[in-house]
Structure 1
Amino acid sequence: MKVGTTPARSGLLSLLLLVACNAGTRTGGVSSPATAGGAAPQGATSTPATTAPPETPPRAEFDPVAQGLTVEGVKQLCDEHLRAAEGYLDAIRALRGAPPEKLTYAATLGRFDDATLEVNSAGEFPYLMGVAHPDAAVREAARLCEPKVDRFTTAMWLDADLAAVIGAYAERGDAREALSGERARLLSDVLRDFRRNGLSLPVDRQQRLRDVNEQITRIGQEFMSNLSASTASIEIAPASLQGLPKEYVAKHAPKANGKVEITTDYPDFFPFVTYAKDRKAALALYVLFTNRGGEKNVKLIDRLLALRSEKAKMLGYKSWADYAIEPRMARTSGAVRGFLDQVRTALKEPAKAEFAALMKEHVRLGGKPTDKLPPSDRYYLEDRVRASTYQFDSQALSDYLELGAVKQGLMDITAKMYALEYKEVPAKAWHPDVTAYEVRSEGKLIGKFYLDLYSRPDKYKHAAMFTVRTAKLLDDGSWQSPVAALECNFPKPGAQPALMSHEDVVTFFHEFGHVLHHLLTRSELASYSGTATVRDFVEAPSQMFEEWAWSREVLDLFAKHHATGEKIPDALFQAMTRARGFGRALATQRQLTLASIDLELHTRDPGFDATVVVEQAQRANESFAFVKGTHLQSSFGHLITYDAGYYGYQWALSLSRDVLTRFKQEGLLNPAVARAFRDEVLAKGGGVEAGALVTRFLGRPPSHDAYLAYLQGKE
């Protein structure tokens, strides 16, 4: 994570797809493994791991998990590493006015990257504990770190002495050094980010910028806290559970008043809106789900948008969107609009046909052709069409997707692809349900990850990868290995088998793709380690990996009936494959709505009604009716963590479909292709321009053609 971002928050920013659930995109899971942990699979090791980092020598290794599980520990973790970062910056400042031969890479940019590592170390694990620790006191203590990190980074980018030394090195540093690769990129990015963070402003405007940055951080924390704590519910008669899976019904027994409670938490919400025959109840739940965060968050967003607009104008940009998009692949808001227009045009006819099929099913089920379908009916009608038109029974498929088997299959597959070994080790983590795995390549330890799979009160509501420790080649030549955590919200198993929907499996593959991106890094610099790449590229490797969950070859490795051990029947797999494309256009329209909302809110001058913008965006992009009384901005967490960047999901998805063309041609499980992807893409992190990564892997420049064809069902 680059120091230029807020490291305490960027652990979440790089995670991403599943946070889209915040905005009403379906990604939540409803099942979990029968047992926590279990035997760890042994991966293939026959392919030489040419990019394996050196083994970390025996020493006192930094372990944020061991330190940061208590109130006092998480405070110390944050403060100690910020002090260490300040020490590195002090050493750089001391070089102001020094002769050129003193201005070496190690003394300037090298120390700057050391400071980056310390800032990341200060903020990464506290951010996770702020949303995942079961103890409210620890969560509150952990959340105190983010404003400290923000103040630190704001002051750093406004530090004239620091900038003067880096600038002097750029102009007249040690002539014996010639920077290339990541180091040259770091110099360019640091000089750019001093400009982008207000160093050239007069002193009084710099102070205002500090104030604005602190307010932006506080508002973001309050918004996300409100959202995490927001669980609304409806009470229904037991008969309204008709259509739900038997496992779901068994877990929702009537209360003393004879009613069944259904909450807006993911394991409750998504199955209910997908399968419940009581569509009035589904709509009522949808309204509550969309309005999570409530009026408090509506007001917070208005204030946040005003502050971001003020900051952008202060720094010389027309809008926050123009400011935020500048360092990304797209570069300009105009390029983003042009891309979204291409996608919108490609979707026009497919979406019209899909919506007509949904309306036909709606009428067949007793509705009127003049009815205006609300968004809450999309999943339900799509599932019915898949069953009636494609003979695909999504609930029947779940019998073959027990989460424990899926987890082991996922690790077996990635071990074979990337020449890895996984070994379960004692977790000693923030909750007894958390498990931990060490990852080795060619026998050498390269990283570690934690799995926190089960839903529980006051836990992060979605599914995402969090960075726990950033990798870096240290000054003594040793390697600080990366650590990640995967947060999910599957129900904890009980009397019923832990069965996943296929969408849950796709979700698991996606998020594990982020884990691999973080763990397989070979970047020497903390600034570009793992997922510390531009935001409109970071999703591409994980979105690409979703395709493995659709492959018969891959599914046959782990998808077995939980009772009989049989593989998925041919007829069921073929029905799933035929039904796959149906709903793609409407789902992508939803993503266009979210991207448009994000872009419009961050483009307009303050003073507008955000709810009107939300309604306008939905009407312009979607086939479904806007539901009056909903305020999507109150629950759209990406407005905090992905500001003016939600388009990146579509942008990265386009890249992922392009990259996938080589895998499809040469084999999804082809170890040579996987090794090339590991070496040319995953290992590079953000140290190489994203377009160049794709070009190296494909042997040609990236193109949107594969994605546009995919949206139109042409491939």
Structure 2
Amino acid sequence: MNPEITHWSGPQGLPRFDLIKDEDFPAAFDQCLTDAEAAAEAIAANPAPATFANTIAAIETSEEGLNRLCAIFYTLTGVDSNPAREKLQREIAPRLAAHGSKISMDPRLFARVQAVAETAEGLAPEDRRLTELTLRGLRRAGAALTGADRERMAALRERLAVLTTDFTQNVLTDERDFVMSVADDKLAGLPDWLLRAMRAAAKERGMAGQVVTLNRSLIVPFLEYAEDRALREVAWRAWGARGSGAGAGGEKTDNLPLVTEILALRHERAQLLGYADFAAYKLDPEMAKTAQNVEDLLMQVWKPAVARANLDAEAFTQALHADGVNGALEPWDWRFYAERRRRAEHEIDEAEVKPYLNLEAMIGAVFDTATRLFGLEFREFEAPLWVPEARAWEITRDGKLMAIFVGDYFARPSKRSGAWCSTLTQQDKIGGGHRAIVMNICNFTPPEQPGAPAYLSWDDAHTLFHEFGHALHNILSDVTWPSMSGTSVARDFVELPSQLYEHWLEQPEVLDRHARHAETGAALPAALRDRMIAAGNADQGFATTEYLESALVDLAFHRGEPAADPMAKQAEVLAALGAPAAIPMRHATPHFAHVFSGDGYSSGYYSYMWSEVMDADAFEAFMEKGDAFDPETAAKLEQWILSKGDSLPADELWLKFRERKPGVHALLRGRGLETARS
């Protein structure tokens, strides 16, 4: 086995990606799986009485090599996929699932963990919490099952691993394969900055002229500015067709049969464990606890959101008719007329704003905000990463190494869409302790020419802050055990730090300091800054409605009996809600990767809204002090939210930070929807 896969020799402990080849991975998986199974067997077969040290702590460190291998491999399949990696991903998914089942359903291991749990009261608080979480994890994996039920659970987990991997690759194929050329006589309305991005996308693919791809940073502004309605429709339908069998990949990328089977198997899995349905299983350890609690929250926001959206739809329909187009407002019209209104009402010209939102300036804003709040310092250094444009920083505080941060910001055909935060290693205090190696992966439009400034939209800048909020949760983690470090928390708590951090982007003092013109260095004019911030809520009826549609459909999919026809179920839920026809789900079922690329956000897409209730209230804690950088509040945020991981239940951490339960009113006010409540 290539030793670099598990014993990283790069700068600051990073892997040497330049020394790792695709052909290294099969042997590495063979060896690491063998090692992990041997370690688990040694724990399970230990003749000594079960103790925290020889059972719980031993489990915690038993798969270090496998974890490092998976961190590297799945990082590469996300940021720089190729046919060899996709093939191996399909092959290894069921093997990893089978390995997980073998370990987590070993009755000897389960008995030892139970024995430690029975005497856990005498343990240190973090050790007791880890024991509780380990026992809960084993039970939820099926460790208490016997006979045919145990075998069926293992088979379900293995099959689901195959289905979710296929789902992910189908969406990636459709996103990668769609390219729409836009002729020179069809460019009306498109600003120069967007044309440059479209030409850069064409050049990257060896094409002449300008193209639209399914990179969100490209297709969304195209839908906002293109005056050619027919081209907007082609682009929007391609965006919506991903994974449906009608996308660029054709029938071979049809995810609907996969979705149907995933839903059925999840339901069966939940019932094997004694739950009524998958939503009940999934929500049991979360803050929300029940599907009804989730629905109650979402419907409090749905009513004012859809009321605002319906008013907007009437206004946009009138504008459509005034342009000489008869008929109904369609999904490919909404962003166009919303952007036109935003420019008119707030006197916003994206071409005027973008030079101030260049990537380097916004990275500076992200880092400086962390310095002012938490005393962090950043130093960029050279490292052999997966592509030359990926970058690495050392993060210190008072001379102490806190973490390593890696940023990979630009879209590529080989990269899956969206933006995410992940880790190569997590913080812990085992032995001499380990610091986190944290990654932010984005899909911003690269500059037309290498070395030229890369410009962000206001939405892109929010994404940059959002993902670094997740990074801070890992960087500032200060717990003993890696499995409850950083973002390893309840799903409906994990978005709190990320969404909270977005608030600092909109602070005038942050923009005044960092939103500097890429060419002249001039500060963002105060009047333009204020108009830009005011325009941020210009289309919240749409944004909130499309999100809630997805969250409510996700919840409905996993409550009760699974849908035999998911698309019919989706239509039924949207009809019952009275969803506006011109606002489809943010993530339609065939490409709803949050829900069907794995279990992470299944029955959990609501968590962004649940966390937003808290993040709006959390930022008010700073505003109550009259200072967005109030040091006392920042210290309390770090002490009880950012440093604690899952060492205490999420609701306890929240109460220790805020000393009261959050309410929905701050969220509605922040989204500009409070006046639309009914």
TM-score (norm 1): 0.84
| CA distance in structure 2 between the partners assigned to 1:577 and 1:408 by the alignment | 19
Q: Report the secondary structure of 1:376's partner residue.
A: helix
2:226 matches 1:226: no
2:225 matches 1:275: yes
Quick one: structure 1 residues 629 and 696, their matched pair in 2 at CA, closer, same or farther if it must change by over 3 Å?
closer
User: What is the aligned partner in structure 1 of residue 371 from structure 2?
Assistant: 415
Of the candidates 467, 489, 495, which is equivalent to residue 443 of structure 2? 489
Matched residues, number: 647
Letter in structure 2 aligned against 1:207: E
2:150 matches 1:188: no
Of the candidates 647, 662, 673, which is equivalent to residue 702 of structure 1? 662
Letter in structure 1 aligned against 2:108: D
2:615 matches 1:656: yes
Quick one: structure 1 residues 123 and 251, their matched pair in 2 at CA, closer, same or farther if it must change by over 3 Å?
closer
User: What is the aligned partner in structure 1 of residue 528 from structure 2?
Assistant: 572
| CA distance in structure 2 between the partners assigned to 1:81 and 1:318 by the alignment | 37
Shift of 1:218: 0.6
Mapping 1:524-673, distance limit 5 Å: 524-621=480-577, 624-625=580-581, 632-640=588-596, 641=598, 642-666=601-625, 667-673=627-633
| CA distance in structure 1 between the partners assigned to 2:30 and 2:653 by the alignment | 36
Mapping 1:457-468, distance limit 5 Å: 457-468=413-424
2:469 matches 1:513: yes
Shift of 1:404: 1.5
Quick one: structure 1 residues 94 and 134, their matched pair in 2 at CA, closer, same or farther if it must change by over 3 Å?
closer
Letter in structure 1 aligned against 2:244: G
User: What is the aligned partner in structure 1 of residue 103 from structure 2?
Assistant: 156
Quick one: structure 1 residues 613 and 420, their matched pair in 2 at CA, closer, same or farther if it must change by over 3 Å?
same
Q: Report the secondary structure of 1:484's partner residue.
A: strand
Q: Report the secondary structure of 2:255's partner residue.
A: helix
2:195 matches 1:249: yes
User: What is the aligned partner in structure 2 of residue 45 from structure 1?
Assistant: none
CA contact (8 A) 1:68 1:125 kept: no
Quick one: structure 1 residues 502 and 130, their matched pair in 2 at CA, closer, same or farther if it must change by over 3 Å?
same
Coordinate RMSD, CA, aligned = 2.9
Q: What is the CA deviation profile of residues 262-289 of structure 1, one whole-angstrom value per residue up to 9, with x for unaligned ones?
A: 2223243111111111122112211111
Shift of 1:623: 5.1
Letter in structure 2 aligned against 1:281: L
Shift of 1:426: 1.6
RCO comparison, higher one (Cα < 8 Å, 6+)? 1
Q: Report the secondary structure of 2:97's partner residue.
A: helix
| CA distance in structure 2 between the partners assigned to 1:153 and 1:709 by the alignment | 45
Q: What is the CA deviation profile of residues 212-262 of structure 1, one whole-angstrom value per residue up to 9, with x for unaligned ones?
A: 111100111111011112132334432322212213224545999998532
Greater Cα offset, 134-143 or 506-515: 134-143
2:649 matches 1:689: yes
Shift of 1:126: 1.5
2:430 matches 1:480: no
User: What is the aligned partner in structure 2 of residue 91 from structure 1?
Assistant: 42
Q: Return 5+ residue gaps in structure 2 as ranges.
A: 1-8, 246-253
User: What is the aligned partner in structure 1 of residue 250 from structure 2?
Assistant: none
| CA distance in structure 1 between the partners assigned to 2:276 and 2:228 by the alignment | 48
CA contact (8 A) 2:641 2:653 kept: yes
Of the candidates 238, 242, 260, which is equivalent to residue 184 of structure 2? 238
| CA distance in structure 2 between the partners assigned to 1:484 and 1:59 by the alignment | 15
Quick one: structure 1 residues 662 and 119, their matched pair in 2 at CA, closer, same or farther if it must change by over 3 Å?
farther
CA contact (8 A) 2:546 2:585 kept: no
CA contact (8 A) 2:215 2:411 kept: no
Of the candidates 215, 233, 242, which is equivalent to residue 265 of structure 1? 215
| CA distance in structure 2 between the partners assigned to 1:75 and 1:168 by the alignment | 37
Quick one: structure 1 residues 631 and 553, their matched pair in 2 at CA, closer, same or farther if it must change by over 3 Å?
closer
CA contact (8 A) 2:383 2:391 kept: yes
Quick one: structure 1 residues 180 and 346, their matched pair in 2 at CA, closer, same or farther if it must change by over 3 Å?
farther
| CA distance in structure 2 between the partners assigned to 1:511 and 1:489 by the alignment | 12
Letter in structure 2 aligned against 1:164: A
| CA distance in structure 2 between the partners assigned to 1:160 and 1:68 by the alignment | 40
CA contact (8 A) 2:355 2:518 kept: yes
User: What is the aligned partner in structure 2 of residue 125 from structure 1?
Assistant: 72
Shift of 1:372: 2.6
Q: Report the secondary structure of 2:379's partner residue.
A: strand
Q: Report the secondary structure of 1:438's partner residue.
A: strand
Quick one: structure 1 residues 346 and 313, their matched pair in 2 at CA, closer, same or farther if it must change by over 3 Å?
same
User: What is the aligned partner in structure 1 of residue 141 from structure 2?
Assistant: 197
Shift of 1:192: 2.3
Greater Cα offset, 491-500 or 336-345: 491-500
Q: Report the secondary structure of 2:212's partner residue.
A: strand
Quick one: structure 1 residues 65 and 321, their matched pair in 2 at CA, closer, same or farther if it must change by over 3 Å?
farther
| CA distance in structure 2 between the partners assigned to 1:706 and 1:519 by the alignment | 28
| CA distance in structure 2 between the partners assigned to 1:120 and 1:703 by the alignment | 39
Letter in structure 2 aligned against 1:680: W
| CA distance in structure 1 between the partners assigned to 2:584 and 2:502 by the alignment | 34
CA contact (8 A) 1:235 1:262 kept: yes
User: What is the aligned partner in structure 2 of residue 36 from structure 1?
Assistant: none
| CA distance in structure 1 between the partners assigned to 2:10 and 2:116 by the alignment | 33
User: What is the aligned partner in structure 2 of residue 403 from structure 1?
Assistant: 359
User: What is the aligned partner in structure 1 of residue 320 from structure 2?
Assistant: 362
2:397 matches 1:441: yes
Quick one: structure 1 residues 406 and 688, their matched pair in 2 at CA, closer, same or farther if it must change by over 3 Å?
same
Q: Return 5+ residue gaps in structure 1 as ranges.
A: 1-57
Quick one: structure 1 residues 553 and 277, their matched pair in 2 at CA, closer, same or farther if it must change by over 3 Å?
same
Letter in structure 1 aligned against 2:239: F
Greater Cα offset, 235-244 or 115-124: 115-124
Mapping 1:26-105, distance limit 5 Å: 63-66=14-17, 69-75=20-26, 78-95=29-46, 98=48, 102-105=49-52
| CA distance in structure 2 between the partners assigned to 1:172 and 1:627 by the alignment | 55
| CA distance in structure 2 between the partners assigned to 1:66 and 1:399 by the alignment | 34
| CA distance in structure 2 between the partners assigned to 1:530 and 1:628 by the alignment | 34
Greater Cα offset, 614-623 or 439-448: 614-623
Q: What is the CA deviation profile of residues 377-423 of structure 1, one whole-angstrom value per residue up to 9, with x for unaligned ones?
A: 33222211111222222332112111112112321221222111111
Mapping 1:286-305, distance limit 5 Å: 286-295=236-245, 296-305=254-263
Quick one: structure 1 residues 400 and 342, their matched pair in 2 at CA, closer, same or farther if it must change by over 3 Å?
same
CA contact (8 A) 1:355 1:623 kept: no
CA contact (8 A) 2:394 2:403 kept: yes
User: What is the aligned partner in structure 2 of residue 331 from structure 1?
Assistant: 289
Shift of 1:172: 4.8
User: What is the aligned partner in structure 2 of residue 42 from structure 1?
Assistant: none
Letter in structure 1 aligned against 2:588: L
Letter in structure 2 aligned against 1:701: K
Greater Cα offset, 430-439 or 70-79: 70-79
| CA distance in structure 2 between the partners assigned to 1:326 and 1:613 by the alignment | 24
Q: Report the secondary structure of 1:539's partner residue.
A: helix
Shift of 1:615: 2.4
CA contact (8 A) 2:192 2:351 kept: no
CA contact (8 A) 2:17 2:386 kept: no
2:331 matches 1:375: yes
Shift of 1:643: 1.2
| CA distance in structure 1 between the partners assigned to 2:184 and 2:559 by the alignment | 47
2:625 matches 1:679: no
| CA distance in structure 1 between the partners assigned to 2:616 and 2:579 by the alignment | 25
Quick one: structure 1 residues 492 and 346, their matched pair in 2 at CA, closer, same or farther if it must change by over 3 Å?
closer
User: What is the aligned partner in structure 2 of residue 170 from structure 1?
Assistant: 117
Q: Report the secondary structure of 1:538's partner residue.
A: helix
Greater Cα offset, 386-395 or 246-255: 246-255
CA contact (8 A) 2:423 2:438 kept: yes
